[in-house]
Structure 1
Amino acid sequence: MGQPIKLIILDRDGTINEDRDDYVKSVDEWVPIPGALEAIARLNQYGWHVVIATNQSGLGRGLFDMDALNAMHQRMNELLVRHGGRVDAIFFCPHAPEDNCRCRKPLPGLFEQIAERYGISLAGTVHAVGDSLRDLQAATTAGCLPHLVLTGKAARMSADKQQALREQIKGVKIHADLAAFAHVILNSSP
């Protein structure tokens, strides 16, 4: 019996790359947040597997197609390789909110798919990082350890809103960005 997998689940828009109110629709609009790709590479170098769980309702809304989404992910992977990093898998929800699917965060469907793919329980061992309440709701429903980064949607979150989120999402840890999250994880892991 080998070591259990060390897995981290990341949101994409607002956590790894800059978010946009009008959706990230093309490779040109996919801009990494400073330090995020380096953070993923550092996690990888210490044995962490990184997986993405992302809502991509722009597909369901017809704002971009699979070719555009694949090009964004190819660009992300190319940039990660330059830093010595990688993402093991990308799980995405292509549906618009009115589709009432189970995979759209705040529902836990993407996290359930990840648990099934890796053959593991996410409960109490898998860290999940996002920039919005719905990311954390999906993560905690699936049993993940929740982390909020103050980038993307959370960048403008007041201290009062952070406190309200702490009360709503028990055990949430708040970090300035993905690099700060990685620093904490790498300095607290055996």
Structure 2
Amino acid sequence: MTLDTSDIFKDWTLFLDRDGVINKRIVDDYVKSWADFVFCEGAIEALKFFNTHFKRIIIVTNQQGVGKGLMTEEELQQIHEKMTTAIDQSGGRIDRIYSCTRLKSENPFCRKPNPGMALAARRDFPDINFKFSIMVGDSISDLKFGKKMGMKTALIAPDFKIARQFPKLTNLWFTSLIHFADFIRETKKY
């Protein structure tokens, strides 16, 4: 479960899951409006730090709440617009958000761990090289997605017991996105 941060250069791409990484996950429900959206502690600060340490910052998020009819594409877009505005205003950035709104039961190509969103990102940003990318997520589908594309992976999980369940899928483990940023800050020499 290691990754030498000296390998991470400013031309790397950072892929981020949304729920449970950037914002608090709602157990057994979905973030259906901006009122439901709460940034995870330290996420804004981490995104500001990443702005100067990664060439691209991409969000890849499964959002089947749309496919279930619990929210519309427009409502999801409004959440993302308000989220990116808050991130931009704090000095961070998100280069693009890719969402798969189809149902898990359909196993669509766009839904993680399938590679659709990664390939869409590379189509939009041809300079993305998955060997020089890292996927940060809080679920096994995030880790599988990253590994399938040849990325490094970092798991966001509350305790090491969870991280130990996926030793072959996880290069790094942190309790939050800000702890990942702190790790890079403390170990990376530019």
The answer, yes or no, to whether TM exceeds 0.5 is: yes
Between the aligned partners of 1:114 and 1:144, the Cα distance in structure 2 is: 14
* 2:32 is the counterpart of 1:31: no
SS of residue paired to 2:166? helix
Q: Deviation digits for residues 12-56 of structure 1, max 9, x if unmatched?
A: 001000111211111100110011011011110345421100001
Say whether residues 1:22 and 2:21 are aligned partners: no
TM-score, normalising length from structure 1?
A: 0.87
Deviations 1:114-169 (A, max 9, x none): 1222114533210110001110101110111100012xxxx3x562x421211x41
- Which residue number in structure 2 is paired with residue 54 of structure 1? 61
> Which amino acid is 1:100 matched to?
N
2: CA distance between counterparts of 1:189 and 1:143?
24
Q: Which residue of 2 aligns with 1:184?
A: 183
Specify whether residues 175 and 4 from structure 1 end up closer, same or farther in structure 2 by C-alpha distance, changes over 3 A only: closer
Residue matched to 1:12: 18
Alignment root-mean-square deviation, CA: 1.9
CA shift, 1:5, in A, is 3.1
Paired amino acid for 1:178 = L
- Counterpart code for 1:163: R
Contact 1:122–1:143, Cα closer than 8 Å, also in 2: no
Deviation per CA, 1:47-103, whole angstroms, max 9, x where unpaired? 542110000111111110022111111111121123111101001101001222111
Partner of 1:94: 101
CA distance in 2, matches of 1:36, 1:123: 24
Deviates more, 1:90-99 or 1:9-18: 90-99
Q: Does 1:108 align with 2:109?
A: no
> Secondary structure, in 3 states, of the residue corresponding to 1:165?
coil
**Cα 1:47–1:124, aligned 2, differ >3 Å: closer, same or farther?**
closer
- The answer to whether the 8 Å contact 2:10/2:53 transfers is no
User: Which residue does 1:164 correspond to in 2?
Assistant: 165
The partner residue of 2:80 within 73, 96, 115 is: 73
- 2:108 is paired with a residue whose SS is coil
Task: Tell me how far apart the structure 1 counterparts of residues 83 and 130 of structure 2 sit (CA, whole Å).
Answer: 28
Unaligned runs of 5+ in 1: none
Identity of aligned residues (%): 31
Pairing of 1:137-156 with structure 2 (within 5 A): 137-150=144-157, 155=158
SS in 1 for 2:59: strand
CA distance in 1, matches of 2:45, 2:37: 16
TM-score, normalised with respect to structure 2: 0.87
Whether the aligned pair in 2 keeps the contact of 1:53 and 1:110 (CA below 8 Å) is yes
Conserved? CA contact 2:13–2:128, under 8 Å = no
